Structures are given as C-alpha cells and as structure tokens.
Amino acid sequence: MAAHRIIVTGKVQGVGYRNWTVTRARVLGITGYVRNSGKSVEVVVSGDDAEVEKMIQLLHEGPALARVDNVEIHAANDARLKGFTKRLGA
C-alpha cells in the first residue's frame, strides 16, 4: 500500500482538474481526496502501489484544459480513507 500527498501547480483551477481527478482515481480503485489549495490542487491518494503510480502519472497530464507545471510528491500516512472525494478548498 502506498499513500502520498501531492501538490499540483500550474493552470489547474477552473479547468475541471478536480472532477477529472475524482473520475480517474475511482476507476483505479484509489482512495483519498482532491481539493484546491491556494493556487494549486492538493491530492491525497492511498492504494495499491501500482495503481497509485498510475495515478501520479495521470496527475502530470491532467485534463485537456489544464497545464501542469509541477507535481510535488510527499509521503503521507495511510489514512484508510473510504472512496475518493472532492473536498472544499484548504
């Protein structure tokens, strides 16, 4: 099991990035959440190592209208979250 807190910067707000992230995470069976944080997007993911790696790769791409400039990956405690949700901003 892998758990990460990820900060995505660039043109990632107002372009459907959070909804896109929720859809991809649910398909991969990952738990966690996504929310706006300042001018960036924060993503917390937990799940199978291989699926989490796929999600991280997808976060580098983002939806069509997004422009991802940077993806910072930090270790996180495995919070055993249920499902994957979109939360209000930090």
Residues designated as active site: 18, 36
- Rounded CA-CA distance 60/41 in Å is 12
Q: Rounded to the nearest 10 degrees, what angle do helices 17-28 and 49-61 cross at?
A: 160
Tokens of 17: 């990035």
3-state secondary structure of 39: coil
